[in-house]
Amino acid sequence: MILQTSQTLQQLSDFLGCQFVGDPNHLITGINEIHQVVPGDLVFVDFEKYYKKALDSAATTILIDKEVECPEGKGLLISTQPFNDFNRLTRHFRPDCRNTGAQNNTSIDPSSWIAPTASIGDFVQIGKNCVIHPGAVIQAHTIIGNNVIIGPNSVIGHYAFYYKKRPEGFDRMHSCGRTVIEDDVEIGALCTIDKGVSCDTLIGKGTKIDNQVHIGHDTIIGEHCLFAAHVGVAGCVTIKNRVTCWGQVGIASDVVIEDGVVILAQSGVNKDLAAGKSYFGSPAADARLKFREMAAIKKLPEILENM
């Protein structure tokens, strides 16, 4: 999330009521979670084993639960509850907008058709020649390009599935990111695409998505991809261009799938996949190898019988 007005380390320290380490005039220009940080961003960390990852990341301000050595050019905010204070900041700078029907700061090109029973939230942009079918819900801070089709009862821009476990239950991370649907995308019926936690969930130009597909928060999908029904993609996945996922493929978080990959039906992906290959199985591997393994397994009873 980019801040409309940059903040200083001193200003955020005063707002949160916590101590800081660094130059009081050190600037914060954005707020992001660890997978999406860029220079100028603030990130939080509340487990010691992740301190190094946060301190070495592109983020230049770290909201942390213990005072540590501050890297040169960075600033620290020392908080007893970094997760809670991160939520305080994101709620302050981008409050939770609801589908009130008022459509505040929403822009819809006159050439687009919106079904009367579709719901359009605040701060939504819809480009030219789009079709939004009955029952679709386009939640706040969604950007839709030109020539986009959203199928019946699909939900675009719902909360990220991101929680912190507490002894008494789970606390939800406030989702302050956006959902961006580029030109010529088609999304089928009953699909769900979550907004970013603090950045963008992106569906690239020309991608076609079948019915009942789920895309998790902060996932980046490239151009001209094809997803069959019941594909499930976790948060923070990067899928590059012209990737095909056939029915019931499942993809774990923080995975990168390179250009031109084909993932065959009912495969489970838990690691990065190299470009231009076909994959099958769970965990997914080179499809030719998997088929050879299956053929070999079929021969096992005969081999054991002859032993």
Instruction: Write the pLDDT tens digit of every residue in 192-212.
Output: 999 999 899 999 999 999 999
Same domain, 133 and 15: no
Strands 285-286 and 278-280: antiparallel
Residue 23 lies in a domain: yes
Residue 304 lies in a domain: no
The whole-number pLDDT of residue 304 equals: 79
Of 65, 56, 60, residue with least CA distance to 85: 65
Domain carrying residue 185: 107-291
Q: CA 186, CA 46: separation in Å to the nearest integer?
A: 40
Same domain, 113 and 23: no
The CATH code of the domain that includes 131 is: 2.160.10.10
Of 236, 222, 139, 153, residue with least CA distance to 187: 153
Residue 88 lies in a domain: yes
Residue 98 lies in a domain: no
Please tell me which residue in 141, 217, 224, 230 is annotated as part of the active site: 217
pTM score = 0.90
Same domain, 23 and 117: no
Q: CA 307, CA 305: separation in Å to the nearest integer?
A: 6
- Per the structure, the count of domains in the chain is 2
List the structure tokens of 67. Answer: 């005072």
The CATH code of the domain that includes 58 is: 3.40.1390.10
How far is Cα of residue 227 from the mean position of the Cα atoms in its chain?
A: 17
Residue 8 lies in a domain: yes
Residue 49 lies in a domain: yes
Same domain, 111 and 254: yes
Residue-wise pLDDT for 24-57, tens only, equals 999 999 999 888 899 999 999 999 999 999 999 9
Q: Give the residue ranges of the chain where pLDDT is below 50.
A: none
Catalytic residue list contains 141: no
